[in-house]
Amino acid sequence: MAAPAPAPTSKRPRDERLDLFRGITMLIIFVAHVPANSWNAWIPARFGFSSGAELFVFCSGFASALAFGATFVRRGWWLGTARILQRLWQVYWAHVGLVVALVALATLLDTLVGSAELGRQFAPLMADPERALLGLVTLTWQPDYLDILPMYLVILALIPLAIALRRLHPWLPFLMVALLYALVWTEGLNL
């Protein structure tokens, strides 16, 4: 007797175009953060209102739509939100673990070299560990260059709200984004 044929998988193939733009975005962000380099004059931020961070936000939104959109459509808002919460949990602990690992690595390298250069990156943690650790777990303190994952958490957390608003009226998510954008520029809102 032959084995039953495997059920067809509904998993969508990876969109390599998105990977290309994410790679370009990471390169732009890297170039923007390397001091005193001639390429910095040619990044998109020098020609308009966009930067690598904005491109990252766009790519993250697009990737989130591909990753979670079908769940919201096929399985409903509650299961879609549960999937988002699971991903938030994973990314949150990845961020905390990354910071802890980088502090340990900086401490080790500074000890081996006999320097305190790398540890300066984490000066708030060394100066006031209780406050910095509380800030780390509440995402109110991030070391320099490590704020991209907390920003991604905010983007992910807004997806269920955007989906709910979309069900009320197709233009409401765009209104929400425009309002957030205006609050950032007029009130200094910092998510």
pLDDT tens string, the chain, 191 residues long: the values are 555 655 555 666 778 888 898 888 889 888 888 888 899 888 888 887 677 888 888 888 888 888 899 999 999 999 999 999 999 999 999 999 999 999 999 889 988 988 887 788 888 888 898 998 999 999 888 888 888 888 889 889 999 999 999 999 999 999 998 998 899 889 887 76
Q: Give, in order, the Cα–Cα distances in Å from 116 to each of 85, 128, 191.
A: 38, 17, 31
Q: What's the rounded Cα separation, in Å, for the pair 142 and 129? A: 13
Domain annotation covers residue 14: no
Domain annotation covers residue 13: no
- Beta-carbon contacts of 67 under 8 Å, excluding residues fewer than 6 positions away, are 87
Domain annotation covers residue 118: yes
Domain annotation covers residue 4: no
Domain annotation covers residue 68: yes
Helix/strand/coil for 172? helix
Q: What's the rounded Cα separation, in Å, for the pair 52 and 22? A: 10
Domain annotation covers residue 25: no
* Host domain of residue 142: 53-187
CA angle 36, 42, 46 (to 5 degrees): 95
Domain annotation covers residue 79: yes
How many distinct structural domains can be found in the chain? Answer: 1
Residues 33, 38, 41, 43, CA torsion sign: negative
